[in-house]
Structure 1
Amino acid sequence: MSYLSSLFSLFGGLGMFLYGMTVMSDGMQKAASSKMSKFLNIVTENRVMAVILGAGITALVQSSSATTVMVVGFVNAGILNLSQSVGIIMGANIGTTITAWMVSLTQVSGSALSIFKPEFFAPLLVGFGSFRLLFGKKGNDDLLADFCVGVGLIFIGLEFMSSAVSPYANSPVFSRAFQIMGGNPILGILTGAVVTGLIQSSAASVSILQTLALSGAVPRVAGFYITLGQNIGTCVTAMISSAGASRTAKRAAMIHLLFNVTGAVLFGILIFLMSLPFASFFQGRLSPVEISMFHTIFNISCTIVLYPFADLLVALSGKLVLETKKDKEEAENPNHYTEVEKSLIQHLDLRILESPAIAIAAAKSEVVNMARITEENIHHATDILLEEKTEEIPEIFKQEKVIDNMQKLLTEYLIHIGNLSLNEMQKLEVNNMFNTITDIERAGDHAENIAEQAKFAEEHAISFSEIGQDDIRKISKTVVESFHASIEAFEKNDLDMVVKTAHLEDQVDEMEEDMRETHIERLNSGACAPQAGVVFLDVISDLERISDHADNIAGYVKAMI
């Protein structure tokens, strides 16, 4: 029963640790994710800034694997190029050392210092955070509560794991296993890589090693080799994530693997050579603090040593990730995919969902693209009607299909984003994007209606009077200006554009009402043919409704400001 109880404690402790990391990183992402996309924009050709960014993002999400998966998504979506991705990948390895240092705090000893031990105040943090979540104001994010609960669970989980393995610290099984690993670098590195690959988290596997080290069961040389392997194992997640992505994205994942394998091989050789003259030191017992120190020194040293060879890593990834038949077909047939597939399927990469803020920014950019296409279709449709360019009507219908497909794909992507851990402002922004793409699509439908009226006019030899043409030209110009202003308001969160859209919408309403009255007067006087009158009224009605949708879009922006 004692063995079973220890196993349950170990499993439960690991579960609390992983869940605590998730809760804590969610809270930290909500607090800082609004700035992530801004930081990403800073990373142009400055690789040093890319390293800093990679370390910062990883420190927030507590996982170098998650950061690298995001990088694969960014590269696949065209947000980053391979040269920029190298720096972020290098920085990710540095950022992941934060978790190891948090765990090493558990080694604080001494009665006077016991109050500083994380497991001493961890229950207080969980209690404080839980009470804030239970009795705080409903409907609001409590980032402090998330952070406190997450940190508390991390250290309680570590205490459970430590308690579970401590009775077996002197077990001959542990001792023999680590002796074998210490004497065989390949086996030690392989063990760290496999364990990390299985649990998909280098932070968690390092923490498990630190827990074992806390009980005094791990020789230094074995712990060092296992730590090197853990850095290789963390590449598994990104390699899996790159499956099905573009060749460039696969190369980003390969760069991560090359970087970590090269670093592990270099340090593995160095440790093996040093362990020969200093055998007594390397066979000594490893402490959690020493693991944190080695983990940090290893990752920083690898970045410094390999930083000058970043372009070589990029080139080598191109040699290892060969061009497939599919890649060649796409290069030879650039029109193999439709415009909407090329812009949306590539740019709205599901890997970007690892960072909700950047996923929202990517979706917003594509909503703007959808709106631009719709604006052009509106302008083109009225131009066809007035200039009688009926041969261009099929182009309007073709673009309308693109707009419909964009709405479908954007809606699906926004549903994915909506299922993420978002703060209140992000939830509002996603909801507003849902409504915005609906209004944009409906505006596109009205442009299609105008094109159909142009087709009807051609088939029935209908023409407008000069007054009628001037009226349509005048109102359509104001409508397009109104729709354009609403897009500007949406893209830039510009209150001035919101006000301008509302002002133009009022003008359109007045125009539509005046034109309708004067046109009915022309019909009654016989100055205008009845069929032409019906087409005219339908067209100005469609234009007025487009302006209404523009006003709706501006209204969603106003609610955000």
Structure 2
Amino acid sequence: MSISDISNGFGFLGGLGMFLYGMNIMADGMQKTAGSKMSSFLGMLTNNRFLAVALGALITAIIQSSGATTVMVVGFVSAGVLNLSQAVGVIMGANIGTTITAWIVSMSQLGDAFAVMKPSFYAPAIIGIGALLLVFAKSQKKKTVGEIMIGLGLLFIGLDFMSGSINPYTDAPIFAKAFEVLGGNPLLGMIIGALVTALLQSSSASVGILQTLAMNGIVTTNAAIYITLGQNIGSCVTAMLSSMGGSRTAKRAAVMHLTFNVIGAVVFGTIGFIFFSLRPAFAASNINAVQISIFHTVFNLTMTTLLFPFADVLVKISGMVVKEKAEEEPVVEDAETAATLKHLDERIFESPAFAVETAALEVVHMGQITYENVVRAIDAVLTVNSDEVETVFKTEQTINNMEKMLTEYLIKVDNLSLTEKQKKVVNNLFYSVSDIERIGDHAENLAEQAQYMVEHGLQFSTTGADDLKSISDSVLKSFQYAIDARQNGNMEAVRKVSQYEDDVDSQEEELREKHIERLSAGECKASAGVVFLDIISNLERVSDHAYNLAGYVKDEM
């Protein structure tokens, strides 16, 4: 082995590294740019499977990874965002969307008209412009565009490095022999394609490497077909690994992806074997990068068209493969905590934008549960009834559990690749969870006061009870509008919270003065008076925390 061979080996390794890293940061930048829009895409999903296929293809084309899309789908199914019928359409679309990367790689071979699109021509300029944007641009949007450009440029330079390193060995007998063996053995070709894809965790990357070899004229047509079919099977590995330890439904989503690609490989592999047996000269001829892109696209479009009417059959097959098991779901103390645990699926981290939105939805969910608990506590106080007190205490435990789960989840989300706006949202969600938990504590305090009144036979005067009802109504409205502001990003709701908070502050000050006057006049017992003051203090604090919640939403807008 000469020094030249070692240099070429280093060149190929470096090119592969740049190609993979470029693809990674380009996809990351794409997600930052389009992540918030992708959540609205999934929100459009109904039982319209055509739309599911289209959205699956679009999302995969944006984030440049069918594996990432499928892992997200597994997470959404596990979290209850998608059902299996919707998921199968998205998975079919993901296979179509992943062909975009193959076309990007093969652009330099599209003919003389596309000569200016060769990586060696424009990749350095793209990296240069991207670097300038990344270093000097002030807006986060421009910096993200810079990341995408640098990723795209590195991808193409990496391809050039790999191609240049292989070029001196295109006539080496080992390549001809290797592809002759792979072309003559469909099963072996598929296994190699699946293994390489599984190792790289990206079918786009493995197809790109195959195309780089094809650019140097050393890949036979039959070998390329079999390897490409295997690469489609290998792309399922990421989702299969992701579903391990997940719910039965998540495993079924991964099995549907595997079943779809295995059926496609068997159908096209059989047709290919018969055709190549009849046309050995064509089978042994060289294939180029553009032809691989064409086959990759035709294969995925054809299989989606063929299997589309049988999508429900794929769902049934997944149910047969993944059997029902007793007590598969983790045992959790209460239904609300279980629901939150289910929704906070870490597979959604494949899309940081979705992860942030999921966290926000669960904070709203926690707020709604806390609101209902405050209503119970106030009712217990106004009616001097202990029936609701135990429910308040039990729900407070649920709220504490949700606070712990959401805080842990938000810490993980905060470490994802987020835009500045998303980081601000996550930061405010931390504070929101804390404020909601404190409101829960005040609801518990109110319930304890109701319990004390029942145990000591205390009653408020008619005037005192009416005053409590008046301030309670304002407090509940302020909290309700605060939750609405977080849920819908509603500025009108933010203004309403501010108005009711001012009203609560005024009422609290007025009620204290009036209550002291009643005590002085002997219209109210001293022991009941202490409870009254404690209750209005807790109510005023609930309103303060509601004002904080609305303030975070205002800060983001």
Q: Structure 2 counterpart of 1:71, which letter? A: V
Deviation at 1:431, TM superposition (A): 1.7
Match of 2:109 in 1: 107
Q: Which amino acid aligns with 1:151?
A: L
Matched, 1:81 2:83: yes
Amino acid corresponding to residue 492 of structure 1 in structure 2: N
Percent identical among aligned pairs is: 54
| Residue aligning to 2:374 | 378
Please tell me the residue identity of whatever aligns with 1:440: I
The runs of 5 or more residues in structure 2 that have no matched partner are: none
Query: What secondary structure, in the 3-state scheme, does the structure 1 residue paired with 2:278 have?
Result: coil
* Dislocated runs of 4+, deviation >6 Å: none
The equivalent residue for 2:521 is 525
Is the 2:385–2:451 contact (alpha carbons within 8 Å) kept by the matching residues of 1? no
- 1:294 and 1:365 map into 2 onto residues whose CA distance is 42
Instruction: Name the structure 1 match of 2:30.
Output: 28
Distance 1:5 1:395 in 2: 72
In 1, the alpha carbon distance for the partners of 2:197 and 2:267 equals 20
Matches of 1:139 and 1:531 in 2, distance apart? 59
User: What letter is aligned with 2:103?
Assistant: W
Evaluate the alpha carbon distance shift between residue 49 and residue 113 of structure 1 in structure 2; reply closer, same or farther with a 3 A threshold: closer
Corresponding residue for residue 37 of structure 1 = 39
Q: Which residue of 450, 456, 472 maps to 1:454?
A: 450
Query: Does the aligned pair in 2 maintain the 1:59–1:96 contact within 8 Å?
Result: yes
Partner of 1:389: 385
**Cα 1:385/1:23, change in 2 over 3 Å:** same
Q: Is the 8 A contact 1:490 1:554 kept in 2?
A: yes
Instruction: Give, in whole Å, the separation in 1 of the partners of 2:174 and 2:167.
Output: 14
CA contact under 8 A between 2:385 and 2:454: conserved in structure 1? Answer: no
Cα distance in 2 between the residues matched to 1:169 and 1:213 = 10
Summarize deviations over 1:313-337 as a string: whole Å, max 9, x none.
Answer: 111111111122333x88xxxx865
Q: What residue number does 1:292 align with?
A: 293
CA–CA distance in structure 1, aligned partners of residues 545 and 451 of structure 2: 24
Corresponding residue number in structure 2 for 1:282: 283
Query: Which residue of 2 is the match for residue 480 of structure 1?
Result: 476
Does the CA contact (< 8 Å) of 1:108 and 1:117 recur in 2?
no
What are the Cα deviations for residues 177-223 of structure 1, in whole angstroms up to 9, with x where unaligned?
Answer: 11001111110111101111111110110011011111111101001
Report Cα offsets for 1:139-190 as digits up to 9, x if no partner.
Answer: 6662221111111011011111111111111111111111001111110111
Corresponding residue SS for 2:552 = helix
Take 1:103 and 1:74, find their aligned partners in 2: how far apart are those partners? 31
TM-score (norm 2): 0.97
Q: d(CA) in 2 for partners of 1:137 and 1:210?
A: 38
Residues 277 and 418 of structure 1, relative CA distance in 2, 3 Å threshold: same
Contact 1:368/1:491 (8 A) holds in 2: yes
* Whole-Å separation in 2 of the counterparts to 1:70 and 1:119: 35
Aligned pair count reads: 555
Residues 193-272 of structure 1: matches in 2 within 5 Å? 193-272=194-273
The residue identity in structure 2 corresponding to 1:241 is S
Report the AA paired with residue 211 of structure 2: Q
Structure 2 CA distance, aligned partners of 1:168 and 1:108? 24
Could you tell me whether the CA contact under 8 Å between 1:106 and 1:119 is conserved in 2? Answer: no
Q: Give the 3 Å change call, closer, same or farther, for CA 154–490 of structure 1 in structure 2.
A: same
Deviations 1:61-119 (A, max 9, x none): 11111110001001101111111011100000000000000110132565x86433122
Using the alignment, how far apart are the partners of 1:337 and 1:450 within structure 2? 24
**140 and 42 in structure 1: CA distance in 2 versus 1, 3 angstrom threshold:** closer
Instruction: Output the CA distance in 2 between the equivalents of 1:279 and 1:253.
Output: 37
Match for 1:63 among 62, 65, 72? Answer: 65
Query: Relative to structure 1, is the Cα distance of residues 148 and 480 closer, same or farther in structure 2, using a 3 angstrom cutoff?
Result: same
Instruction: Please tell me the residue identity of whatever aligns with 1:31.
Output: T
The whole-number CA distance in structure 2 between the counterparts of 1:113 and 1:519 is 85
AA in 2 matched with 1:358 = F
Correspondence list, 1:346-357, <5 A: 346-357=342-353
Q: Deviations over 1:476-507 (max 9, x none)?
A: 11101111011111111111111111111111
CA–CA distance in structure 2, aligned partners of residues 357 and 305 of structure 1: 33
Alignment-derived partner of residue 320 in structure 1: 321
Work out whether residues 73 and 90 of structure 2, in 8 Å CA contact, stay in contact via their aligned partners in 1: yes
Q: Is this contact kept in 1: 2:384–2:459, CA < 8 A?
A: no
Going from structure 1 to structure 2, the CA distance change for 1:137 and 1:486 (only over 3 Å counts) comes to same
> How far apart are residue 532 of structure 1 and its match?
1.3
Spell out, residue by residue over 1:229-267, the C-alpha distance to the aligned partner (whole angstroms, 9 max, x if none).
Answer: 000000001001100111111111000000000000000
Instruction: Output the amino acid matched with 1:443.
Output: I
Partner of 1:98 in structure 2?
Answer: 100
In structure 2, C-alpha distance between the alignment counterparts of 1:130 and 1:322, rounded to whole Å: 52
- Distance between the aligned counterparts of 2:442 and 2:257, measured in 1? 49
Deviation, structure 1 residue 341: 3.3
CA distance in 1, matches of 2:255, 2:204: 21
Structure 1, unpaired ranges of 5+: none
Deviation at 1:128, TM superposition (A): 1.0
Provide the C-alpha distance between the structure 2 equivalents of 1:463 and 1:192, rounded to a whole number of angstroms.
79
Matched AA of 2:183: G
**Partner SS state of residue 79, structure 1:** coil
Question: 1:20, 1:152 within 8 Å by CA — same for their partners in 2?
Answer: yes
RMSD: 1.6
The letter for the 2-side match of 1:261 is V
Give the letter for the 2:109 counterpart.
Answer: Q
Name the amino acid aligned to 2:88: V
C-alpha displacement of 1:405: 1.0
- How do 1:378-417 residues align onto structure 2 when only pairs under 5 Å count? 378-417=374-413
Q: Contact between 1:23 and 1:150, CA under 8 Å: does it hold in 2?
A: yes
Map 1:531-542 to 2 at 5 A: 531-542=527-538
Residues in 1 aligned to 2:257 and 2:123: alpha-carbon distance in whole angstroms: 35
CA distance in 2, matches of 1:177, 1:532: 91
TM value normalised by structure 1: 0.96
The one of 337, 340, 343 equivalent to 1:341 is: 337
Q: 2:542 maps to what in 1?
A: 546
**1:166 and 1:498 mapped to 2: Cα distance?**
64
Q: Distance in 1 between matches of 2:104 and 2:127?
A: 16
State the SS of the aligned residue for 1:322. coil
The answer to whether the 8 A contact 1:242-1:250 is kept is yes
Aligned 8 A contact 1:141 1:424 in 2: no
The 2-side partners of 1:31 and 1:483 are apart by 33
Q: Secondary structure at the match of 1:326?
A: coil
Deviation string 1:266-312 (CA, Å, 9 cap, x unpaired) is 00001111112211112101101111011111111110111111111
Inter-partner Cα distance in structure 1 for 2:421 and 2:74: 27
Helix, strand or coil: the match of 2:327?
helix
> CA–CA distance in 2 between the matches of 1:458 and 1:36?
53
Matched letter for residue 514 of structure 1: E
Distance of 1:138 and 1:357 partners within structure 2: 18
Partner SS, residue 361 of structure 2: helix
Q: Which residue of 2 aligns with 1:443?
A: 439
